[in-house]
Structure 1
Amino acid sequence: MTSDSPSMTDTTLSADQVADFLRDNTEFFTTHAELFATLPVPHPHGGRTISLGERQIFTLRERNREFEWRLNELINTASVNESISTKLMQWCCRLLAETEIQRLPGEIALGLAQQFDLNEVGLRLWRLGQVPDTGYGAAVSEDVRTFTDSLKVPYCGTDTAFEAVNWLTATPRSLAMIPLRPAPDEPSIGLLVLGSDDAERFAADKGTAFLETIGSLASATLHRLAAA
């Protein structure tokens, strides 16, 4: 007759058997509480031994440090998002306050540069009859229009080989390109290019939620030009 459990003559238990026993007998450390103070276990960062109770305290401290790190990271992210939201609101207020519609493209580009401390902002517009054929309304190639139409979300990265980068006076270390369109499924009416000397500011792994909001607000502002 065979059995999976250890017999009365067994003198050695495997680690799995010990673990199973402790799981099945949760009252063990209640009836043998002295083991917490006397049972030696290896120190996680050294060769010496410590009591089981000390090891438990050490583990809890490690977890607390991890939780504190995560909490600080969340607080920092919240602080950054709050700052961006404030700047976004100030930029939006600036657009709403502009009464001369011909100045709206400049308010979009210059306002972004000032509110978000950007090195440079490039902007070109098309399919808007009220925009002069110079400056923000200067002609762009069909490649630029096709590329902009293909962007469903803003582009972020460090590739500076795009034609639109030439709208900036200096080559940035990272850039974001935001398509402008009246509605999500409609053809583009322009492209915003944000340039930064910081290679990480518009890194490819960055989220684009705020950039999408900028694109939506700028597009809504330009609707005033189309309506005129």
Structure 2
Amino acid sequence: MSKQTVRGVEVDSLPEEVIAEYLQHNPDFFERHSGLLGRLKLPHGKGGSTVSLVERQVSVLREKHDKLESHLHDLIAVARDNDSLADKIHKLSRRLIRARNAAGVIDALESSLREDFGASEWLIVLAPSAESGLHGVTSRHLRVVDPTAAELKMFETLFASGKPRCGQIRDSQRDFLFGTGSVEIGSAALVPLGPQTSAGLLAIGSPDTDRFHPGMSTEFLARIGDLVSEAVGA
């Protein structure tokens, strides 16, 4: 413990932890010693000048206020995005309900994904066990494969998880889903369909590498997957 001279008297210095603990348990200390409060000077934090303790407290509170306001704006933006997505999914539901046949289901999906979600590159892959719902339909957005097809093994992890996955996909997956030499796919969302393993999947591709990324929420994609599964009988 070091020594300090106070009013000509040498006294032991208290550890900083003890002083901090005392002030924490005695918040009215500076009310009882208001003169001391005005004499305390602290570094400004953004330069070499000093400010009073009160000014420093105001500065800290202002910074906290700015951070809270920024966080509030972020929450509002997320809420608006969620409202917009919920509205788009509602419109998709109505389109699918109005579809009178299998071809109408594909048309409804094509219109909704293109107009509401801005997705022109997408594909439904179904195994024969789920084929009945779209029997006889010919579309570039639909591919029926044998359940033992080697290509399905590329998506074993997706089927095992039963949850949508977003991000960049392997070249072999991209070529199988969207074709070689097609529109450049920078990122994709893969959504498993149906309760059965390897029943099928919905793939949505985008040339933008940041459009679908691993950190994004997949809750709404899962809801779209549920709707598509019901519509195609997966």
Q: Tell me, in whole angstroms, the C-alpha distance in 1 between the residues paired with 2:74 and 2:218.
A: 19
Q: Tell me, in whole angstroms, the C-alpha distance in 1 between the residues paired with 2:135 and 2:198.
A: 15
Q: CA RMSD in A?
A: 2.4
2:190 to 163, 177, 188: 177
Q: Tell me, in whole angstroms, the C-alpha distance in 2 between the residues paired with 1:95 and 1:68.
A: 41
Structure 2 residue aligned with 1:190: 200
- Which runs of 5 or more residues in structure 2 are unaligned? 1-8
Residue 205 (structure 1) aligned with residue 215 (structure 2) = yes
Structure 2 residue aligned with 1:132: 136
8 Å Cα contact 1:125/1:137 also seen in 2: yes
Residue 144 (structure 1) aligned with residue 144 (structure 2) = no
TM-score scaled to structure 1, two decimals? 0.83
Structure 2 residue aligned with 1:4: none
8 Å Cα contact 1:156/1:177 also seen in 2: yes
8 Å Cα contact 2:183/2:207 also seen in 1: no
TM-score scaled to structure 2, two decimals? 0.81
Deviations 1:100-141 (A, max 9, x none): 233313422443222201141112222223523854244367
Q: What residue identity is the alignment partner of 2:186?
A: R
8 Å Cα contact 1:113/1:121 also seen in 2: no
8 Å Cα contact 2:193/2:201 also seen in 1: yes
Please identify, of 33-42 and 77-86, the stretch whose mean Cα deviation from structure 2 is larger.
33-42
Q: Tell me, in whole angstroms, the C-alpha distance in 2 between the residues paired with 1:151 and 1:59.
A: 46
Specify whether residues 133 and 107 from structure 1 end up closer, same or farther in structure 2 by C-alpha distance, changes over 3 A only: closer
Deviations 1:185-226 (A, max 9, x none): x23432211011221111112121111111111101123xx7
- Equivalence map 1:1-228=2 (5 Å): 10-126=11-127, 127=129, 128-129=131-132, 130-132=134-136, 134-135=138-139, 136-139=142-145, 142-146=149-153, 147=155, 149-163=159-173, 165-168=175-178, 169-181=182-194, 183=195, 186-223=196-233
Paired residues in the alignment total 214
Identity among equivalent pairs (%)? 29
